[in-house]
Amino acid sequence: MLTLLDAWQTQGMLRYIDVALARFLAQEVLPGGEPDPEAAGALALVLLGAALCSAQLGQGHACLDLQAVTADPAGIPGLSVADALHGLDALRWQAALRAWPQLVSCPAQAEDACAGRFTPLVLAHGRLYLHRLWRCEQDVQQGILQRLGREDVAVAGALDAQQAAAATNVADAIDDAQTARLQQALDVLFPSALTAGAQADTRAPADAADNGGRDTAADQPADWQKIACVLASRQRFGLITGGPGTGKTTTVLRLLALLQWQALATHGKPLRIGLAAPTGKAAARLSGSIAGAIGRLPLDDAPQGEVIRAAIPHAVSTLHRLLGSRPDSRHFRHDARNPLRLDVLVIDEASMIDLEMMAAVMHALPASARLILLGDKDQLASVEAGAILGELCARAQQGHYWPETAIWVSEVTREVVPPALQDVAGTPLDQSICMLRHSHRFGADSGIGRLAAFVNAGDVQGVARLWREAGQGAGQFPDIARYEVDASRRGLRELVIHGRGEQPVGYAHYLQVMHQHQPASDADPATFDAWAQQVLQAHGRFQLLCALRQGHWGVDHLNRQIAVWLQGAGLLAASEGWYAGRPVMITHNDYELGLMNGDVGITLAGP
CA–CA distance, 510 with 495 (Å, rounded to integer): 14
**Low-confidence spans in the chain with pLDDT less than 50:** 109-114, 151-173, 193-218
- Which domain range does residue 252 map to? 176-181+217-283+312-439
pLDDT of 32 reads 61
In a shared domain, residues 455 and 496:
no
pLDDT recorded at residue 1: 82
Residue 406 within any structural domain of the chain: yes
- Say yes or no: 472 and 575 in one domain: no
Q: How many CB atoms within 10 Å of residue 347?
A: 26
> Does a structural domain hold residue 274?
yes
Provide the 8-state DSSP code for 340: -
Whether residues 488 and 457 fall in one domain: no
Within-domain flag for 87? yes
In a domain, 559, yes or no: yes
| Structural domain includes residue 205 | no
The answer to whether position 293 is within a domain reads: no
- Contact indicator for 146, 129 with CB cutoff of 8 Å: no
Check which CATH number belongs to the domain holding 223 and give it. 3.40.50.300
Q: Domain check: are 450 and 591 in the same one?
A: no
- 431 and 460: one domain? no
pLDDT value of residue 364? 95
Is 171 within a domain? Answer: no
Kindly tell me the burial class for residue 528, based on how many C-beta atoms sit within 10 Å of its own C-beta (0-12, 13-18, 19 or more).
Answer: middle
Could you give the CA distance from residue 134 to residue 332 in angstroms, rounded to a whole number?
Answer: 19
The pLDDT of residue 80 is 66
CATH code: domain of residue 24 = 1.10.10.1020
Distance between CA atoms of residues 57 and 152, nearest Å: 29
pLDDT at 112: 46
For residues 346 and 459, state if they share a domain.
no
Q: Are residue 352 and residue 222 in the same domain, yes or no?
A: yes
pLDDT of residue 471: 66
Q: What is the pTM of this model?
A: 0.79
pLDDT score at 54: 93
How many structural domains are present in the chain?
4
> Do residues 327 and 426 share a domain?
yes
pLDDT given at position 7: 87
Same domain as 51, residue 73: yes
| pLDDT recorded at residue 151 | 44
Q: Does residue 372 sit in the same domain as residue 451?
A: no
Regarding whether 583 and 511 lie in a shared domain, the answer is yes
Domain boundary, last residue among 427, 459, 476: 476
Residues 273 and 388 in one domain: yes
Burial class (CB within 10 angstroms; exposed 0-12, middle 13-18, buried 19+) of 401: buried
Query: Which DSSP letter does residue 520 get?
Result: P
Which pLDDT score, from 0 to 100, does residue 173 have? Answer: 46
For residue 110, the model assigns a pLDDT of 45
Is residue 25 packed enough to be buried (19+ CB in 10 Å), middle (13-18) or exposed (0-12)? buried
> Would residue 187 count as lying in a domain?
no
Contact (CB, 8 A) for 25 and 1: no
